[in-house]
Amino acid sequence: MLRILVFPKGNGNDCLSVYLDVPDSAGLEYGWSRYAQFGISVISQIHTRYTIRKDTQHDFNARESDWGFTSLMPLSELHDPNRRFLVNDTCIIEANVSVRVTVSHPLYDSKKETGFVGLNNQGASCYLNSLIQTLYHLPYFRKAVCHTPITENDMPSGSIPLALQNLFSELQSSDNTVTSKEFMEAFGWITYNSFPQHDVKEFFRTLFEKLEEKMKKLFEGHHVDFIECINVNYKSTRRGLFYDLQLDVKGCRDVYAALDKYVEKECLKGDNKYHAGSYGLQDAKKGLLFIDLPPILPIHLKRFEYDFIRDTMVKLNDYFEFPLELDLDIEGGKYLLPEAGRGDKNLYTLHSVLVHSGGVHGGHYSAFIRPNLSHQWYKFDDERVTKVDAKEALEEQYGSKELLQTNSGLNDYQKCSNAYMLVYIRESEKEKIMCNESLRSDDGQKEQNKKDEEYLTVKVAIDEDIKQHRDLDLVDHDKVKSFHIQRQEPFQLLKEKVASEFGVPVKCQRFWLWAKHQNHTRRLNGPLTHVEEGQTIGQLKEASNNTFDEVLKLFLEVELGSDLHPIPPPNKTEDDILLFFKLYDPEIEELRIVGRLFVKSTSKPTDIFAKLNAMVGYAPDEEIELYEEMKFGANVACERIEPNSTFQSTKVRGSKHREMHLQDYLLLASRMEVCVGSFSLATSNGVFDALVT
């Protein structure tokens, strides 16, 4: 079941925001997934021509249980009296949904299965991810990026070459999904820019404006625009360069037909005659021919156009073939200028196919790539990389010859999935371009990889790491202590290393596992049992359900005695809950972690108020409020904890599969009398501004 979530005042912007949400997602079976293609409409109550509709699709799952449009329509249009979206304070919003069950593979490991890793989707950044993966798998381009000079003053957030270097480095070395956030920041795209879908063509050209000349040379070709008079001996020519070709889909069966149309001569007659200098107005032919073609040839297919009859943009899902081998010397070189050099053969092989699935107002990008130009194709779909056959990468992306509208009024997903950009490599230069820098390792590298696989990195966070952290999550795992241990070593060896590093005796150590929650945060999942501590490091990692990366991440709980020296951790039962607390100070607008406490599930928040006040230096009787953080976003999403209800009744509890219970840490709002002013919070029911007096 899906429900509609509406933000009538916008979700961090000046637009109506509408999403579909799975309300019972937390109670569904582990690994659930439902693919839905849907359209959301805001109905005009005066005439249907004003009705606004946007279409998209999404794979709803435990990690992403809601999806929709942050900017469905400007609020100014919503309140336009001439369009009557609002009548008697009533707005009609409809959702047309087509759902199908998908097979979920929650434990799928892209690196293990394919040798490659994916890129996180930063909201609607699949267009960027697909192009980045395509460029990364052009080794000569990757090499040029990595050898770009960088000054010591360059920062990734302000240097596109450096950010691209870092991104490529992570794609090569990481065992897990990589984020493109730093790269997007280098472009000047802050968080909200990641949600509207940009155009691949637009991004491609913006990127090339900022690259060095030696990188551009790989994609640089030259053409001549000419106008030739029919009745007099007069010809005008203009040389130009290009980094990609834009070919028509409409009215063209394949790439060759589109190229024929691209170089087709246009007759200039009648009112459109050409002014030929001293010859005056003359009948003429206008055309274009290529002087030379680049080593790497990107071809953008014009899948989107403006429909003047319908007065709107439409997507063309027309059938359009593209060959695995593209010969641009056919018919005596009809696409080339007659006097152009014929030294290099213009025979190309297909390297990648960028695909758009969905409609004009929303959709999804993915990429089919042959990293080694072999027969094996791979699908790069954001975080997930899979092996696919040639038919899926080629024929199934040609488009459809059939009627696309289904009975539900929604476009069929498969028929709306089609090629949007093609990348070809010149046959005579493929050795140079691929330059033996494939991610597929040679024997020596494989041996090194085998040795590396014998070891496991274990990151151990302590209380000090958590207290020093100032960001949204509990801890920055990149800054905690790492231990490099062979997988077959017993867990006891790690405890000895920790004792030596932190000065905490083995008998005083209690380790907790981390888990990744739906809201993309990492929380403690429970302490290790005696059985788990009796395993090897490798066995513990495999059994931990810690699938978000290949690093084993632990929290070391250390209890101190009255002399502030470590003591053996006290026994706990399933009635004990470990809670972390943050303090929100509205005077300086700071949110910081202040400590942790064990509480009984049958106890109440009022039972610990004195301890919390002491923790932050307040008087014992200071009036405070508690909130439970539920998710992160433009606003902190939280729910108020009733002070006189038990923690058990307020459902502040954790995993049912562990020895002890734990839930997301709580937010200690502040002393009441100093909270003068307002601060934004969000509950599970919507957004509101809380005035605290």
pLDDT tens-digit profile of 325-343? 999 999 989 999 887 766 6
Angle between helices 160-173 and 126-136 (to 10 degrees): 80
Is 58 tagged catalytic? no
Residue 407 confidence class, pLDDT cut points 50, 70, 90: very low
Looking up residue 96, the CATH number of its domain turns out to be 2.60.210.10
Same domain, 512 and 544: yes
Query: What is the chain's Cα-based Rg?
Result: 30
Q: Point out the catalytic residue in the list 300, 361, 364, 661.
A: 364
Q: Is residue 444 part of a domain?
A: no
Same domain, 467 and 562: yes
Domain end: 184, 217, 250, which one? 217
E strands, 171-265, in order: 221-229, 235-242, 245-248
Mean pLDDT throughout 502-519? Answer: 83
Residues 6+ apart with CB under 8 A from 437: 139, 140, 142, 143
Q: Is residue 54 part of a domain?
A: yes
Is 126 tagged catalytic? yes
Does residue 415 have a pLDDT over 70? no
Does residue 310 have a pLDDT over 60? yes
Same domain, 142 and 191: yes
Domain end: 567, 600, 635, which one? 567
Same domain, 470 and 556: yes
pTM comes to 0.52
> Are the beta carbons of 362 and 52 closer than 8 angstroms?
no
Looking up residue 649, the CATH number of its domain turns out to be 3.10.20.90
Number of domains making up the chain: 4
Q: Is residue 627 part of a domain?
A: yes
The residue segments making up the domain with residue 594 are 576-692
- Range with lowest mean pLDDT among 28-37, 334-343, 448-457, 598-607: 448-457
Per residue in 228-243, pLDDT tens?
Answer: 999 999 999 988 889 8
Same domain, 53 and 139: no
CA 690 from centroid of its chain's CA atoms: 32
Same domain, 64 and 129: no
Same domain, 169 and 212: yes
Same domain, 511 and 602: no
Q: Is residue 349 part of a domain?
A: no
Residues 6+ apart with CB under 8 A from 468: none
Dihedral angle sign, alpha carbons of residues 130, 132, 133, 139: positive
State what percent of residues in the chain have pLDDT above 70: 75
Q: Point out the catalytic residue in the list 15, 58, 126, 223.
A: 126
Task: Supply the pLDDT for residue 30.
Answer: 56
Same domain, 582 and 532: no
Q: Is residue 420 part of a domain?
A: no
Same domain, 581 and 664: yes
User: Could you tell me how many helices (H) and strands (E) the chain has, helices first?
Assistant: 18, 38
Strand partners, 567: 559
Domain end: 161, 184, 217, which one? 217
Q: Is residue 398 part of a domain?
A: no
Does residue 599 have a pLDDT over 90? no
Residue 476 confidence class, pLDDT cut points 50, 70, 90: confident
- What is d(CA 638, CA 230) in angstroms, rounded to the nearest whole number? 75
Closest CA to 598 of 616, 612, 577, 613: 577
Task: Supply the pLDDT for residue 484.
Answer: 86
- What is d(CA 65, CA 58) in angstroms, rounded to the nearest whole number? 9
Same domain, 493 and 559: yes
Q: Is residue 462 part of a domain?
A: yes
Same domain, 147 and 94: no
Q: What angle do CA 513, 516, 520 make, to 5 degrees?
A: 150
- Range with lowest mean pLDDT among 239-248, 286-295, 472-481: 472-481
Q: Is residue 334 part of a domain?
A: no
Does residue 446 have a pLDDT over 50? no
Strand partners, 450: none
**Region class of 575: left (phi > 0), else alpha (psi between -120 and 50), else beta:** alpha
Task: Supply the pLDDT for residue 126.
Answer: 75
